[in-house]
């Protein structure tokens, strides 16, 4: 009798494990389908589905109007790509150089051109040259621990003139609304530990250290400190 009961218990456990595995596979399939469907949409369709047109206009306190253009990486001109890279160089090069990553413009440019990367480009409406004054780039992908569908914000950079006027918060709010509209679970980003101002900005928006963020490690009696943190917040749907 005890033996039979044990066999029955094991059989029930096996069934539960199988059910859990089946649910996990279905969940992953649904997650993959969600990301694939959004990423397969052309830029114009993506914008019409996930970004309200009124969000693509921003007015500062002195009524300066800024226009925001949504583009896929494949739509960026060489001049636009170079302008975005220049903004990263002028605002964050020192953080890259001081980190374990180092500053590698060609590598960064390749990342910026990845097929699934999307851009929000900022222009001053009164500027005839339509020079890029700032941008945010993001990608729909899987990340975190355990892996879930997310919007990952790669870059947020503004020209000096437009810092402190609420533009960065507005760009982040657009990315966050995309995350909610698509239906992903989190919005994530990477922040250099040396950039305390940026980290405080993200924390003020509700971001916290993600479970996937690396931790300091001890090697040969020395503590090797991480120089970046991965942050995230859950998406309110």
CATH code, domain carrying 65? 3.40.630.30
pLDDT per position as a tens digit, 92-143: 999 999 999 999 999 999 999 999 999 999 999 998 888 999 999 999 999 9
Q: Is the dihedral of CA 153, 77, 165, 66 positive or negative?
A: negative
In this structure, is residue 37 part of a structural domain? no
Q: Do 148 and 186 meet the contact criterion of CB atoms below 8 Å apart?
A: yes
Look at residue 30 and tell me if it is in a domain: no
CA-only gyration radius of the chain, Å: 22
**pLDDT, position 184:** 97
Report if residue 16 sits inside a domain: no
CA 114 to each of CA 73, 76, 139, 220, 227: distance values in angstroms, whole numbers, following the listed order: 7, 11, 9, 38, 24
Does 102 reside within a domain? yes
- 164 found inside a domain: yes
Residue 20 lies in a domain: no
In a domain, residue 12? The reply is: no
* pLDDT confidence tier of residue 27, bands split at 50, 70 and 90: confident
Q: Which domain holds residue 130?
A: 43-234
CA-CA-CA-CA dihedral for 170, 175, 119, 139, to nearest 10: 160
> Picking from 75-84, 97-106, 209-218, which range would have the lowest pLDDT averaged per residue?
209-218
Reduced 3-state DSSP string for 158-178: ECHHHCCCCHHHHHHHHHHHH
Residue 2 lies in a domain: no
- pLDDT, tens digit, for every residue of 156-180? 999 999 999 999 999 999 999 999 9
Tally the domains of the chain.
Answer: 1
């Amino acid at each position: 009798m005890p033996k039979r009961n044990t066999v029955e218990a094991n059989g029930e456990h096996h069934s539960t494990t199988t059910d859990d595995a089946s649910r996990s596979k279905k969940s992953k399939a649904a997650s993959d389908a969600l990301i694939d469907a959004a990423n397969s949409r052309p830029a114009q369709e993506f914008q019409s589905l996930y970004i309200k047109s009124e969000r693509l206009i921003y007015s500062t306190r002195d009524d300066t109007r800024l226009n925001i253009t949504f583009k896929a990486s494949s739509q960026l001109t060489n001049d636009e790509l170079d302008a975005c890279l220049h903004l990263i160089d002028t605002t964050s090069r020192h953080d890259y150089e001081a980190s374990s990553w180092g500053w590698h413009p060609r590598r960064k440019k390749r990342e910026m051109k990845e097929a699934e990367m999307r851009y929000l480009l900022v222009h001053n409406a009164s500027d005839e040259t339509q020079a890029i004054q700032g941008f945010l780039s993001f990608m729909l992908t899987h990340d975190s621990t355990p892996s879930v569908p997310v919007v990952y914000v790669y870059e947020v950079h503004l020209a000096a003139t437009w810092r402190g006027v609420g533009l960065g918060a507005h760009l982040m709010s657009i990315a966050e609304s995309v995350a909610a509209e698509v239906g992903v679970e989190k919005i994530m980003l990477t922040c250099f530990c040396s950039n305390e101002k940026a980290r405080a900005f993200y924390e003020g928006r509700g971001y916290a250290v993600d479970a996937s963020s690396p931790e300091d490690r001890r090697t040969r009696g020395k503590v090797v400190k991480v120089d970046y943190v991965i942050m995230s917040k859950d998406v309110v749907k």
